Structure 1
Amino acid sequence: MTMMKRKKAPVWSKRAAAAAALMMTAGGLLAACSDEGGKPSSGAGSEKTVTLTFETSLYAEAPHKKAIDTLISMYNEKNPNVKITVHGADYENFWDKLTTEVIAGTQGDIVQVYPENIATYHSLVDGGAFVNLDSYIKGKDPEKKLVGQELSKVDGSYYAISNYAWGNTGIFYRKSLFEKAGIDPGSVRTLEDFKNAATKLGVDTNGDGKLDQYGFASVVGSHPFVASEWYRLVARPVSGGIFFPDGEAGPYTADRIHVNSEANVWAAAWWQDLMNNPQATPPGTRDKKVGREMFWNGQAAMNMDGPWFIGMTKERDAKLMDDLGLLPQPVVQYKGKDYKPNPHTNPSVAMISKKSKHVEEAWKFLEWMTSPEAQQVIAGSGMIPSNKDYVATDAYKKDNPLAVQFMEFLNDRYAPAVMDPPIPEQGSLSQIIVNTAQDIFVGKKDPKASLDEAAKKMKEALN
């Protein structure tokens, strides 16, 4: 997944608007959508074949495709009259595509996003684009047993179910490369420890005078990770928020924009210095896929990722699993004080379109995905399944030792998670910070001036 990630809804543009108009004119509706405004059909038990469309950015990644295909096959065996087709796109293209479809009313019956995206996409059309799920969730099992369910609200009501999986971030490392460099993984506790280790791991392995191994497979290109790696590892722990202070808390008003705070500027300067260190980070890694390949190929010793990376590594080369280690995100020391990491839990959640003809059938499938048999399949993706009871079983812990480490980090080493603001404007704010991060870390522009300009643009977006 995309760290799985991350899931930023881009700002709406004239290009997307034109595409939406074209789609409406062409009538390019997905198979299961209609103009019936969320009316449920007669039920999954009827003889008539029901077709549901399922949109997700995860389907582009092999472990998730395998898990989702298996889930659909299992559900179809139980419900032979229900056909589910998947519409996916790679992470970077998925969000623009989804924006266009929601404006045009052509989104799938089921749309899988992240909690911070719900308000943005729901608000793209008058009256909201997705079904209020309170009657299915409030006061019932999903409200209590699913990790991140409380994050799936807009104005106090549920618009998504946290029925797939979740994960926060850590630092994967190649055990063999650490051993060769004489680095004890347990000694990497603080951000400075992390930088020193990354620098030591950057070496010329074949003696031609050029570096061909780097310490940390960072992203320094156009991918949203160019921003999120910086603020997850450094900025948010010390500042409390990229967009707003106090853990991205409201009120979400222009006067509370926090992006150019002293702590965030310090964090940007620190990260820029790391990005400029050729031993620590590979120059020009313009996509997360490239960094992951460098890690798998032994060209980089560390990679920041979530539990989904476990499944991706196993799919890439099962032999690498014996060389795969995991460090927690490091403690950040700032102005003489230690700040614990505060990565969010990043659950994948699913919404049901108001345009769907088959709301009841869509809900039954989504609810079934929370069952132990379905969660066992989802565990194969490498992410941590959402059902709290399932991941507490001895069987899950035995079969997924690295994923369990993420849970231990969350419980024992990390501060309370800080999530993106759940507001409609979040898509615009996120695009601004991605563009600003590119200016600072790729264009090497002044951090303070760049963040001051970002603050100005964010205030304009909120006003």
Structure 2
Amino acid sequence: MGTTMKKRMTGLIAFGLIASTILAGCSSSKEGDTGTGTDGKKEEQITLSFETSLYAEAPHKKAIDSLISKYNEKNPNVKITVHGADYENFWDKLTTEVIAGTQGDIVQVYPENIATYNALVDGGAFLNLDTYLKGKELETKLVGQELSKVDDSYYAVSNYAWGTTGIFYRKSLFEKANIDPATVKTLDDFKAAAAKLGVDTNGDGKLDQYGFASVVGSHPFVASEWYRLIARPVSGGIYFPDGEAGPYTADRINVNSDANVWAAKWWQDFINDPKITPPGTRDKKVGREMFWNGQAAMNMDGPWFIGMTQERDQALMDDLGLLPQPAITYEGKEYKPNPHNNPSVAMISKKSKNADEAWKFLEWMTTPEAQQIIGGSGMIPSNKDYVATEEYKNNNPLAVQFFEFQENLYAPAVMDPPIPEQGTLSQIMVNTAQEMFIGKKDAKTSMDDAAGKMKDAIK
């Protein structure tokens, strides 16, 4: 772990976060007898805690509650409690818990988070899962499982769902503006459509509909929307070149490359167009609400947004369309989008007193029975066999389009670097994006500053 990262993690504790974040029942426990096993004997009550950032969102809460309820029917002696926070606050909270040793028995993260959080404790905070996965069927049948490694060992299982990003649009607003969605193929097409969609709908001289609900605020999406959509496809990597490949050394920091600086300037011009992006600071939640309310015609999101829209208002589903991320022309060459695959993966804490029971639950989540429940979250379930069924395809036509985009239109996905310092690098990028896209600071100056900070972080 880099010196900068250690200082940041220590600082979190010093700010008094521990008291507010320690989980109630954070490690598994046994609570006497309950239920009856197949042999007629009473079984010990086992409690497991499950920690996730997804639980704050209604469709995920519904899916996770249903999973736990179904599992408890089959295993009445196992009680699973859920703890979480919204995405923006979850990660600092988890940092404090891991350092204090109070994290949940099961912790759900993304592949790029595994190395960072495992390295917060000497010797690692989470269990090596090779005995459960290596050489077993699950190693190859789960989307994104290969991304869950640290030093060639598995520390998480990709047992929930995954997604990549596309551009959702309101069909009615496109039709009113006389825009054929099939013609929006390139970055220039996307910008032209977004500008055309920004209009004064009530004739009071003020814009009340905008083209694109971009994030311009404190949420990490202030950086990731920009680099997933534009920068990373043309530069090969925000943090390191060649698809965020190693060696992960200071001399290979790529953030201030010419392509990334060009992409930052393009995004500054794009979001500063009053027809495209509404003025003022806003986060992802506000942008989604603007889309649902018809105040924004487009929103960048993943398949989870399908479930969120359905939960918000079933009637909106008939007006929900999906575009792939656009192709980009830079210095005369066309680049395909390469949005990263975003599976939710689960780790087991070394502090867990019932790791085998935690694994049994995580393994059950990969079954068709559980994957069908997970499909209700709007995300694409991780089990490749289940998603390949005609039943799934027929019931989830919008989600299936994400498969088609990846197969026909997208370059191979580029993931964040799987290194312990990634949390620090990501925060530097978020801070830099805020400078450029909210503070309107010169892109080259900001990116050069970011490069220096990133080099210090990984020395």
Matched residue SS, 1:51 = strand
TM-score with structure 1 setting the length: 0.94
* 1:369-404, Cα deviation, whole Å (9 max, x unpaired): 000010000000000000000000000000000000
Q: 1:360 aligns with which of 356, 359, 374?
A: 356
Asked whether 1:298 is paired with 2:294, we answer: yes
Q: 1:109 aligns with which of 81, 105, 108?
A: 105
CA contact (8 A) 2:18 2:96 kept: no
Shift of 1:19: 5.7
CA contact (8 A) 2:23 2:83 kept: no
Q: How many residues align?
A: 445
Q: 1:52 aligns with which of 33, 40, 48?
A: 48
1:61 matched residue in structure 2: 57
Amino acid at match of 1:292: R
Asked whether 1:441 is paired with 2:445, we answer: no
2:257 matched residue in structure 1: 261
2:399 matched residue in structure 1: 403
Matched residue SS, 1:347 = coil
Compared with structure 1, are the counterparts of its residues 326 and 461 closer, same or farther at alpha carbon in structure 2 (3 Å cutoff)? same
Asked whether 1:31 is paired with 2:36, we answer: no
Asked whether 1:276 is paired with 2:272, we answer: yes
Shift of 1:280: 0.8
Matched residue SS, 1:55 = strand
2:33 matched residue in structure 1: none
2-structure distance, mates of 1:392, 1:20: 48
Amino acid at match of 1:31: G
2:142 matched residue in structure 1: 146
Shift of 1:99: 0.3
Query: Over the residues paired in the alignment, what is the CA RMSD in angstroms?
Result: 1.8
2-structure distance, mates of 1:110, 1:447: 40
* 1:35-57, Cα deviation, whole Å (9 max, x unpaired): 9xxxxxxxx98711000000000
TM-score with structure 2 setting the length: 0.94
Compared with structure 1, are the counterparts of its residues 187 and 207 closer, same or farther at alpha carbon in structure 2 (3 Å cutoff)? same
CA contact (8 A) 1:145 1:387 kept: yes
2-structure distance, mates of 1:389, 1:34: 32
CA contact (8 A) 1:11 1:428 kept: no
1:213 matched residue in structure 2: 209
1:339 matched residue in structure 2: 335
* 1:140-190, Cα deviation, whole Å (9 max, x unpaired): 011010000000000000000000000000000000000000000011000
Segments of 5+ residues of structure 2 without an aligned counterpart are: 30-36
CA contact (8 A) 1:20 1:103 kept: no
Segments of 5+ residues of structure 1 without an aligned counterpart are: 1-8, 36-43
Matched residue SS, 2:287 = helix
CA contact (8 A) 2:340 2:413 kept: yes
Asked whether 1:414 is paired with 2:413, we answer: no
2:131 matched residue in structure 1: 135
CA contact (8 A) 1:240 1:247 kept: yes
1:41 matched residue in structure 2: none
Matched residue SS, 1:12 = helix
1:428 matched residue in structure 2: 424
Asked whether 1:88 is paired with 2:84, we answer: yes
2-structure distance, mates of 1:317, 1:200: 26
Asked whether 1:97 is paired with 2:93, we answer: yes
Asked whether 1:389 is paired with 2:415, we answer: no
2-structure distance, mates of 1:428, 1:347: 21
Compared with structure 1, are the counterparts of its residues 34 and 73 closer, same or farther at alpha carbon in structure 2 (3 Å cutoff)? closer
